[in-house]
Amino acid sequence: MPRSLPLAALLALAAAACKREGAAPSEDRPARPAVSLQGAGATFPYPLYSKWIFEYGKQRPEIRVNYQSIGSGGGIRQLIERTVDFGATDAPMTDQELAKASGRIVHLPTTLGAVAVTYQVRGLEASSLQFSPEALAGVFLGEIARWDDPELAELNPGVPLPAEPITVIHRSDGSGTTAIFTGYLAKVSPGWNEKVGAGKSVRFPSGLGAKGNEGVTGQIKSTPGSIGYVELAYARQNKLPVAAVRNRAGRPALPTLEAVSAAAAAFTGSLPEDLRLSIVDPPAESAYPISSFSYVLVYEQQPDPVKGQALVDFLWWAIHEGQAMAPQLDYAPLPEAVVRKVEEKLRSISPSKRPSPLQGEGSWP
Amino acid sequence: MAVSVTALGRLSLPRRLAPAFWGEAHLGDRAFRLCTAAFAAGALLTLAALALQMTRASALSLRRFGPGFVLGTEWDPVRESFGALPFLFGTVVSSALALLIAVPVSLGAAIFLSELAPGWLRSPIGFLLELLAAIPSVVYGLWGIFVLAPWLRDTVQRPLSGALGGLPFFSGTPRGFGMMAGGLILAIMVLPTIASVSREVMRAVPVGLREAALALGATRWETVRHSVLPSARSGLVGAIILGLGRALGETMAVTMVIGNRAEISASLFEPGYTMASVIANEFTEAAGDLYLSSLAEIGLLLFGVTLLLNALARLLVWRIARLPDGARRA
C-alpha cells in the first residue's frame, strides 16, 4: 500500500514533535506564558511601551503583553468593543466616548509627551527661534505669513529673519500630536479657538498637510521657510531645530524632558479625580507649555481575575521601575505626585485590590 | 481589471465555444466547473458585500447630509461638518493630470519598444519598465518629498509662475508640494502599467498587417498610424483604463506630495486632497460616529466613481471595437 507510506512518516514526525515538547516543562521557567494581555492604541508611546513589554517579559515570563500601535482612535474603539484588555491614548477620552463603553474606564497616565515646533529657515540653522503664544497662533492661522514679520522680529532681536513667505506644515493624519498642539493654540488664542478649534484632525487654515511625524519632517527639510510641529521624542532623536515658546510665566521655554515634567508637576495640586486633564499652558516658570499625559485605558471591573491581576502588575511596574527607562527614550517621567494618584487608581481596579506580592517590594510607597 | 483583459482577449485569443454549463458528463469536469463558478461568484459576492457594508457604515452621514454631502466643500472634523467635493475634485483632477502626462509618453514608449527598437534593446528596456511598476508607492512618495517636490518648485514652478503667473493655473506661491506634484507622481506610477500593457497589445497585432502596409510603400510612421494603432485600439483603451484605475486608488505616494488640504483651487501649485488619501489619513483616529460615517461615505463615493469610470471606459471599448477600421478610412 504505497499510500500509507507518507501517512506513516507523518505519524513518526508527530511523535517526535510530541517527545520534544514533553521535555520542556523540566526547565525552571514555564515554556508558555500563562497570561496574555492584548493592548492597542496610541502610536506616540509605542517605543516606550515596547521597551517596557520587553523588560517586563524578562522579569515575568508568564505574562505576555502585546501592544499594537494602531492609533488612539482605534485603541479607544477596540477597548469599547472589549476586543483588547487595555487601550492607550494621548488625548483623554471624551464624555461621549466614555458613555459608549459598557463599564467604567479608568485613565492611567503612564508618561508625558510634548510637541516641539520645528522649522527650516535659511541662515538660522544654528540659532533657536522664540515664539510667543500669540505669534505661534498667528503663524499657524496664516495671519503672520512672512518670516520678516515685525512681530517675529520683535521676539527674536538680532536674528537675521529672511524676507521669505512662511510655509506651514501640519499633520494630515489624525493624531494625538495635533490634538495637543491645537489644544494649546485653542487655549492661548481666542482667534484659533473660534476659527479652528482643537482636535486630532482639524481644518487648518493654511499650509500643507503631511502624514506622520516623518512626513512633516520630510516636508520641512525639503521646503525652505517652513515651520511645523512634531512630537518631542521624534524631534530629539532626529536632532531637529526646535523653537522656544513663551510659557504663561512669560519665560521662553525649550522642550526639554525636565520642562515637560515640570508642566505636569504644576498641575498636581489640581488633579481631577478621573485624571483626565490637559496640561497645556501650565502656570510654572520652568515649564514647557505644549505637553500632555499619555494614558493607558483599562476597565475598572476586570472580567478575568487572572488577566486583571497581570494587567495591574504590569502597569504598577510601568509607573515605578518603568519610569527610569523613559528619559533614555526621550519620554518625560511622571512626577512623583502623579505616580501616587495612579497607584490609587490601580488599587481601585477590581477584582485585584493591590499588586500581587510577586511584584518588587522596593516600589511600595 | 476586467476591461483590459477582455480587450486583450478579443485581440489575441481565438474565441472558443463554451460547453453548456451542466452538459458535461464527466464528474471531474463538473466538479471543476462548479469549483471555478464558486470562485467567480465569490468575487461578485465580495463586491456586493463591500458595497452593502459601506452603505451601512455611511448610513448616519447619508441621513444627516443627504445628497448635499457630494457637493459640500467644507471638511471640519471639529465642528462635524463634512462635504466631499474637495476630495472628489482632487481625485479626478490628479488622475486626469496623470493620464494627460502618462498616456502620450507611455504610448510613445510602447510604440518604440514594439515597432522601432532593435531586438537586443527591447527586452532590457521592457524589463526595466516593468520593474518601475514593482516599486512600492511609499518609495515613490519619499522620492517625491525629497527630490520631485524641490525640483518642481525651483525648476518648473518658479519660472512658470514668473512667465504665466497671471493664469489661474499657475497662480500662488510655488511650494513644490501640491496638485502638480500629485499628478506628476501618479503619472510616473501609471506609466509602466500603460506602457507595458500597450506594448503587449501592439505586439499581438499580426505581422501580416505591418508587412502589407510596408509593401504598399508606407513609412514606419504610416504603418504604425494606419495599421498597428487601429487594430490595437481597444486594447490600448484597456491599458489606459488600467492606468486610470491605479491612479484613482493610489494613496500613499499621492498623500505624501499633494499637500492634503481640502480645498478646491484652479491653481496647480495649490495643495489638494484625494478621497483615498483622506480615508488613509483620518480613519485610524476618527472617533465620532458621524465622522467615521462620513469617511465611510467617502469610501462609498470612491467606489462609485471607480465603478462609473470603469463602466464608461467599457462603453468606450465597445464603441471603438464596433467602429470601422481606421486603416480603411484613411
Task: State the DSSP string of A194-214.
Answer: HHT--SSS---SSSEEESHHH
Q: d(Cα A6, Cα A166) in Å, to the nearest integer?
A: 72
User: Mutate which of A222, A223, A226 to test chain B, going by most B C-beta atoms within 10 A?
Assistant: A222
Residue A263 forms contact with B (CB below 8 Å): no
Which of the 8 DSSP states describes residue A325? G
Do B229 and B326 meet the contact criterion of CB atoms below 8 Å apart?
yes
Query: What string of pLDDT tens digits covers the 365 residues of chain A?
Result: 344 444 444 444 444 444 444 443 444 444 556 889 999 998 889 999 999 999 999 999 999 999 998 888 888 989 999 999 999 998 888 888 899 899 999 999 999 989 999 999 988 877 789 999 999 999 999 999 999 999 999 999 988 899 999 999 999 998 888 999 999 999 999 999 999 999 889 999 999 999 988 899 999 998 999 999 999 988 888 888 999 999 999 999 999 999 999 999 999 888 888 999 899 999 989 999 999 999 999 999 998 888 999 999 999 999 999 999 999 998 999 999 999 999 999 998 876 445 555 444 444 43
Q: Using the beta-carbon criterion (under 8 Å), do A96 and B288 form an inter-chain contact?
A: yes
> Range with the lowest mean pLDDT among B89-98, B104-113, B313-322?
B313-322
Q: What is the pLDDT of residue A354?
A: 52
Q: What is the pLDDT of residue B233?
A: 87
Q: In chain A, where do the E strands start and end?
A: 35-41, 63-68, 86-89, 105-120, 130-131, 167-171, 208-210, 226-231, 244-246, 252-253, 291-299
Q: What is the pLDDT of residue A27?
A: 42
Residue B119 forms contact with A (CB below 8 Å): no
Q: Residues of chain B with pLDDT > 70: what percent?
A: 90
Question: Which residues, 6+ apart, have CB-to-CB distance to B39 below 8 Å?
Answer: none
Q: What is the pLDDT of residue B130?
A: 86
Q: Using the beta-carbon criterion (under 8 Å), do B78 and A203 form an inter-chain contact?
A: yes
Q: d(Cα A93, Cα B291) in Å, to the nearest integer?
A: 16
Q: What is the pLDDT of residue A74?
A: 84
Do A292 and A278 meet the contact criterion of CB atoms below 8 Å apart?
yes
For B155, counting Cβ atoms within 10 Å of its Cβ (0-12 exposed, 13-18 middle, 19+ buried), the class is exposed
| Helix or strand (DSSP H, E) at A270 | none
B23 confidence band (pLDDT: 50, 70, 90): low
Q: Using the beta-carbon criterion (under 8 Å), do B150 and A74 form an inter-chain contact?
A: no
Residue A79 forms contact with B (CB below 8 Å): no
Residue from the list B142, B145, B285 with its beta carbon closest to the beta carbon of A201: B285
pLDDT at position B261 over 50: yes
| Terminal-residue alpha carbon distance, chain A | 73
Domain range annotation of chain A: 31-112+292-359, 114-270
Please provide residue A252's backbone torsions phi and psi, each rounded to the nearest 5 degrees. Answer: -70, 130
Which of the 8 DSSP states describes residue A350? B
Q: d(Cα B180, Cα B147) in Å, to the nearest integer?
A: 14
User: Mutate which of A173, A192, A206 to test chain B, going by most B C-beta atoms within 10 A?
Assistant: A173
Q: Using the beta-carbon criterion (under 8 Å), do B255 and A222 form an inter-chain contact?
A: no
- A222: chain B residues, CB-CB within 8 Å: 145-146, 149-150, 176
- A97: chain B residues, CB-CB within 8 Å: 287
Residue type, A353: K
Residue A202 forms contact with B (CB below 8 Å): yes
Q: What is the pLDDT of residue A356?
A: 53
pLDDT at position B90 over 90: yes
Q: Helices B275-282 and B289-322 sit at what angle, rounded to 10 degrees?
A: 150
- CA A151 to chain B, closest CA, distance in angstroms equals 22
Please provide residue B79's backbone torsions phi and psi, each rounded to the nearest 5 degrees. Answer: -95, 5
Do B149 and B257 meet the contact criterion of CB atoms below 8 Å apart?
yes
Residue A168 forms contact with B (CB below 8 Å): no
- CA A17 to chain B, closest CA, distance in angstroms equals 36
A114-270 folds as: D-Maltodextrin-Binding Protein; domain 2 (3.40.190)
Q: d(Cα A329, Cα A138) in Å, to the nearest integer?
A: 32
Residue A208 forms contact with B (CB below 8 Å): yes
pLDDT at position B43 over 50: yes
Q: Using the beta-carbon criterion (under 8 Å), do B280 and A173 form an inter-chain contact?
A: yes
Domain range annotation of chain B: 58-329
> Range with the lowest mean pLDDT among A74-78, B48-52, B270-274?
A74-78
Is CATH 1.10.3720.10 the classification given to domain B58-329?
A: yes
- A219: chain B residues, CB-CB within 8 Å: 145, 149, 177
Residue A210 forms contact with B (CB below 8 Å): yes
Comparing C-alpha atoms, which of A146, A155, A148 is closest to residue A128? A155
Q: Using the beta-carbon criterion (under 8 Å), do A174 and B286 form an inter-chain contact?
A: yes
Q: What is the pLDDT of residue B14?
A: 44
Q: What is the pLDDT of residue A229?
A: 96
The single residue listed with the C-alpha cell 459598557 is A102
Residue A165 forms contact with B (CB below 8 Å): yes
Q: What is the pLDDT of residue A5?
A: 46
Q: d(Cα B190, Cα B133) in Å, to the nearest integer?
A: 8
Q: d(Cα A342, Cα A57) in Å, to the nearest integer?
A: 22
> Chain B residue closest to A206 (CA)?
B261
Do A197 and A141 meet the contact criterion of CB atoms below 8 Å apart?
no
pLDDT at position B9 over 60: no
| Residues paired with A246 in a beta bridge | A252
On the question of a common fold for A31-112+292-359 and A114-270, the answer reads: yes
Please provide residue A320's backbone torsions phi and psi, each rounded to the nearest 5 degrees. Answer: -110, -85
Residue-by-residue DSSP string for B169-209: GG-S---S-SHHHHHHHHHHHHHHHHHHHHHHHHHTS-HHH
pTM, full prediction: 0.82
Is CATH 3.40.50.2300 the classification given to domain A31-112+292-359?
A: no
Q: Using the beta-carbon criterion (under 8 Å), do A223 and B287 form an inter-chain contact?
A: no
- CA A199 to chain B, closest CA, distance in angstroms equals 6
Comparing C-alpha atoms, which of A119, A140, A221, A206 is closest to residue B261? A206
In which region does residue A212 sit, left (phi positive, over 0), alpha (psi from -120 to 50) or beta (all else)? left
Q: What SS3 class is residue B56?
A: helix
Comparing C-alpha atoms, which of B157, B310, B140 is closest to residue B240? B310
Q: Using the beta-carbon criterion (under 8 Å), do B77 and A199 form an inter-chain contact?
A: yes
pLDDT higher at B167 or A33: B167
Per-residue burial over B36-55, b if 16 or more Cβ lie within 10 Å, else e, is eeeeeeeeeeeeeeeeeebe
Residue B176 forms contact with A (CB below 8 Å): yes
Report the residue count for chain B.
330
